[in-house]
Amino acid sequence: MYDLVPAFPQTQTSRPPMLTIEHWVGNTPLVRLQRLTRHLPHSIEIHAKLEWFNAGGSIKARPALNIIRQAEANGLLHSGKTLLDATSGNMGIAYATFAAARGYRVQLCIPENASPERIKLLRALGAELVLTDPLEGSDGAIEKARELVAANPDRYFYADQYNNPNNWQAHYVSTGPEIWRQTNGHITHFVGGLGTSGTLMGTGRYLRTQKPSVQIVSLQPDLPYHGLEGLKHMPTAIVPGIYDPSLADENIGVSTEAALHITRRLAREEGLFTGISAGAAVCGALQVARELAMQGLPATIVTILPDAGYKYLSDRFWSE
């Protein structure tokens, strides 16, 4: 596993350590939502973890770096191999970021309808892209990656984020402990979206070791065809091998329209310029909060804002 961000020495005479981009993974801020929650009782708090503070600009920096480091340690990734995986965007950007810094080639299968900003950023980082059928979503990208590695297994290290346990384990050793410390152990509910499911699996498992009563809430699109990039509608998708549906106490379906509405409100009312999956996450957290308010129960709810909105600026919903 990887180390969390080290502190600079406190003595003025000491030289600062030689830091690399990899040191800026983890220890992201946790902020309390204020205006979106003003209709709730004061005893109910919603806190959001700002994951665009990671190197690479999203929460995917955590699993990407862990997957790369573990593959190196096991001799699976070296200068003679190309890192290959399927991605909807953010994981690919994280792979490309750290691979560029470490000198690896990267090939990514990504749906053709991924935002133009993501495609340009991946190419700027030097990734080779294989664009897949937009109607098949992330599942089509997964099938293409499997086809490529089957045809030429010696060429690739297939990172396989959907089935690689180093995905969820990254959150077990970083995201979960950070949330526990940042809430001083007061967290009562953790709400996380389902894509690879790594964030929910790793964070939820860690929180359960610290506080068995913590409620784990998963959320996913409410329909098979949706506009929530990075999230999966599990009943109709290729289910990730790392996903354990028994971990969550509750599962919430979120509509694309509701997620877009909250994404706009996060920017205009909280000053949080986020991606669409962050809007979906806050939708879920608000739903949980409303249910608890009706029961008269206090709560400290934490959710994840996976990335910022810069990679979605071409989407029309910002001006609608």
Angstrom distance (rounded) from CA 175 to CA 26? 7
Q: How far apart are CA 157 and CA 106, in angstroms?
A: 10
Active site residue 49: no
Bridge partner list, 307: 58
Please name which of 231, 257, 260, 269 lies closest in space to residue 318, comparing C-alpha atoms. 260
- Residue 217: CB atoms within 10 A of its CB come to 21
- Per the rule left: phi > 0, alpha: psi between -120 and 50, beta: everything else, 162 is alpha
Report which of 263, 254, 307 is spatially closest to residue 49, judged by C-alpha positions.
Answer: 307
What lies within 8 Å, CB to CB, of 266 at 6+ separation is: 36, 272, 273, 274, 278, 279, 282, 305
Q: Do β-strands 105-111 and 44-50 pair in parallel, antiparallel, or remain unpaired?
A: unpaired
> Do residues 44 and 299 make contact, with C-beta atoms less than 8 angstroms apart?
yes
Q: In sequence order, what are the residues at sequence separation of 6 or more whose Cβ sits closer than 8 angstroms to the Cβ of residue 153?
A: none
Which tokens is 102 given?
A: 């470490």
Neighbours of 113 (CB within 10 A): 16
CA 158 to chain centroid, in Å, comes to: 20
β-pair type (30-32, 44-50): antiparallel
Instruction: State yes or no: is 58 an active-site residue.
Output: no
Catalytic residue among 88, 115, 218, 277: 277
Q: Which of 49, 58, 60, 144 is catalytic?
A: 60
**Mind telling me the catalytic residues?**
60, 277
